[in-house]
Amino acid sequence: MAPDTLIIEASHADERMLRAMQSLLAQLSPQAPELTLEALEEITTTPTTRLLLAVSNTTEEEIVGALTLAIFRIPSGIRAWIEDVVVAPESRGQGTGSALVTAAIDTAQAEGARTVDLTSRPAREEANRLYRKLGFEQRTTNVYRYTIRDSIL
């Protein structure tokens, strides 16, 4: 990670953070619905989600990366899930993604999680290399998704 970058956990949302997150998410998932200030505030204040931000100290505390960590209890123990890992193009290759994921693992471990899971599309070759380098193991499993359609009421 660039020496002038810090990983922090967001505890509230504001317009500056919203603009940065909208820009980062557009790179990750162009078809994702637009993030609102209300949704971002909910993410930062809900006890089961943590929004970790990579902040550059050299550019007026610009947000250059982010990930969301969900920590939840199920009958078999406390689990953690990493979602929406994204680093701004100008900050890639400097260890920012590694620092974000490592901070998420540390947070999950401190909360008693037994495992930390994530998914990554095969086309995201750099991200997949990073996850393997950090000790993630590819699982032999099927990932299923059910898309909930808007109901007509």
pLDDT in tens, 97-147: 999 999 999 999 999 999 999 999 899 899 999 999 999 999 998 888 898
Residue 24 to residues 65, 74, 115, 144, 150: CA-CA distances in angstroms?
7, 31, 26, 26, 26
Domains and their CATH numbers in the chain: 5-133 (3.40.630.30)
* Distance between start and end Cα atoms, the chain: 50
Confidence at residue 30, expressed as pLDDT on a 0 to 100 scale: 81
pLDDT tens-place string over residues 31-58: 888 999 999 999 999 999 999 999 987 7
